[in-house]
Structure 1
């Protein structure tokens, strides 16, 4: 029986080197360990990287092939593509416990001692050498590459305090203070944002990756370190802050390209998993699936927007933060009105602007427009895109007025009526405002005929108004305390903004002239 098949409670009864030898323990490298445990999971059909969505046919197979090949790995992709999360999940492919020489700072294998300390322990105590058990969670080391990282931080250096305390000359290797990499021996070491690491520091990794040993100043020591390296890098960093030096890149065996979710459904799964919604919020705020679609649509629109720097990317954190803001907007309304519950409104979706403005890098045109303006445009495009999934295209009825299902609604606004949807309005006030628009309830009922309850019916009514505003049939203006819908023509003469997102640049210029 291998020691890995022994239950954890029995493993801890093995406390000496002699007992470990008797258990049948055989050393194996960390890469062999990862490979063996991956083979076991794949053979049993167990999920290898739980919680990672959208990579089932792209990144994860590449990653599994790299592990089976015993490769060092570089995860290359834009921000918010789960690179660090994937690296941290590799820990689950390690054995739950491994034996180490008790007190060793380099996690020395009892049968393959590495450090001077471990050799001395075995020399003096033989089979009575004390053994400890190291959990896999303690075998993961992560370092964010920053310009101030030094060789001493990663590899090590001579420690004058240790030399003085132990009364040792600098020629004695016991004065060495080991850095993060030697201390990660028999584990996984991750360097995030590798291009940010200065070139001279990257050079110090050459020997570790190729030969598995380290060099510290003038000491004649060879430490054949056993480490699985995982690097992460952002392509944008290659031009903005630095690059991976060519010899180091050559020594990284597999470079795996990550990507953003390719569908709304995948994005929704990620956001629902990662959004920090408390049980109290879930009880107070009842959601609607369309809100999830709208939130994810923002990211898709941003990645295609001429105002957003495509090379910088749009992180999945945008949608997570936006959804949290949507729920909090509804929760705030409940608390202010002293109500027990409320349903999310489309207006709550528009309250998530602060979560969008800080998550996108703008090009020159975007800077001219302003972060807030770009955020509103993206949200407007999201509404416009999703509107066609639930209601007919208003553009089809521009020449067929008699068949226009929205005619009664737009006519009411054309008669000079306005509708104010305030952010803090109670559910009763919200209902009263929507029901005063003739024909709106009928349109919602016709195209969304099976709402779960009255609240969902009101939600479709509001969404219809936002869609009509995006297709320039009515006007939507931002108020200090909410939104106002009214006739498009009167809005133009009064200098209002009729939509969160105008149809195209030509229309933008025409609107400015009209103002």
Structure 2
């Protein structure tokens, strides 16, 4: 007998069903419909009690064949899988599949908000216009990203001779290989480059986490400028009438009442002190290879940064406090208030205007 008859009263699974040749698929028709097995040349029918389970990728990414129509008709149920619909479900899948339980003397601590941040990268990619959504973004991206994140933490601890490791925001730059190889882009994304798109996805995910912990970063002068311009907005027809001296023509018409604009969300006053320190020409240079003492000391050079972090989060350790301090700088960068320059394994934050001028001169 063959493999399927030997699985009588059992479950037989076939992976990638379209890869089977059509003549082999035909052999499955009788088993699925009549539930028996015929032997060519012999008037014998062997009854079968077996459950057949198939899997197939919905995207035809190779020059393989297809599932023949009679076989499709005989399959009782077709189940279409989907990506996790919530960050919590995605975190459970990644925790289950990622290789993070490793035998080493270094104590690794990865809080839940770091897991959520890594998962948010995949959610951002699934909604990005630069990513080919027909190909999708699989859960393997976050699994590989989490493994890379922990590996980089272990590497830093080995270099700095630390007994414990805590993630830093600068570690996210090491996740690029996990993203660029698992995201297919549309034409516009290919023009920008895989690494540029990956950094944008990471930046959007970081901005979402920043928005959940800290107040928004308002652009200077926006509120005052809107107040000055209130009442001076004219539509095209009113503008033509005003220039032609026919402003009185529309006096008989009742103008629709202007809806009151919602006041902007209150910002954090300490942002101005932080930005002012950078305007004076100061810079902050961070590296994922820095010992924690040097990394923390570099962040504490920025005035009001410690106070702002402690005001909105309750860090349980200096490592966690340093993470949120770097998050504030990254949030100011994502709000286009600080410039950020990545060079090898270092990240430099500096004032936006001077950075653009120097880059233009170069």
Compute the TM-score of the two structures, normalised by the length of structure 2: 0.81
1:82-93 → structure 2 map (5 Å cutoff): none
- Alignment match of 1:428 (pick from 262, 276, 293): 293
Q: Give the whole-Å Cα distance in 2 for the aligned partners of 1:364 and 1:435.
A: 43
Give the direction of change, closer, same or farther, for the CA distance of 1:428–1:403 in structure 2 (3 Å limit). Answer: closer
1:450-461 → structure 2 map (5 Å cutoff): 450-461=314-325
Deviation at 1:372, TM superposition (A): 1.8
Asked if the contact 1:287–1:343 (Cα under 8 Å) also holds between the matched residues in 2, the reply is yes
- Look up the match of 1:482: 346
- Look up the match of 2:180: 357
Compute the TM-score of the two structures, normalised by the length of structure 1: 0.58
Q: Give the whole-Å Cα distance in 1 for the aligned partners of 2:181 and 2:104.
A: 24
- Look up the match of 2:79: 256
Give the direction of change, closer, same or farther, for the CA distance of 1:397–1:216 in structure 2 (3 Å limit). Answer: farther
CA RMSD of aligned residues (A): 2.4
1:39-60 Cα deviation digits (max 9, x unpaired): xxxxxxxxxxxxxxxxxxxxxx
- Look up the match of 2:31: 208
Q: Does 1:462 align with 2:302?
A: no
- Look up the match of 2:302: 437
3-state DSSP class of the match of 1:261? coil
3-state DSSP class of the match of 1:229? strand
- Look up the match of 2:15: 192
Unaligned runs of 5+ in 1: 1-177, 497-513
Deviation at 1:213, TM superposition (A): 2.6
How many matched pairs? 320
1:490-505 → structure 2 map (5 Å cutoff): 490-495=354-359
- Alignment match of 1:345 (pick from 168, 177, 186): 168
Q: Give the whole-Å Cα distance in 1 for the aligned partners of 2:39 and 2:61.
A: 29
Asked if the contact 2:125–2:137 (Cα under 8 Å) also holds between the matched residues in 1, the reply is yes
- Alignment match of 1:447 (pick from 289, 300, 312): 312
- Alignment match of 2:120 (pick from 263, 285, 297): 297
Give the direction of change, closer, same or farther, for the CA distance of 1:179–1:476 in structure 2 (3 Å limit). Answer: farther
- Look up the match of 2:337: 473
- Alignment match of 2:49 (pick from 223, 226, 241): 226
3-state DSSP class of the match of 1:255? coil
- Look up the match of 2:228: none
- Look up the match of 1:44: none
Unaligned runs of 5+ in 2: 225-266
Give the direction of change, closer, same or farther, for the CA distance of 1:423–1:346 in structure 2 (3 Å limit). Answer: same
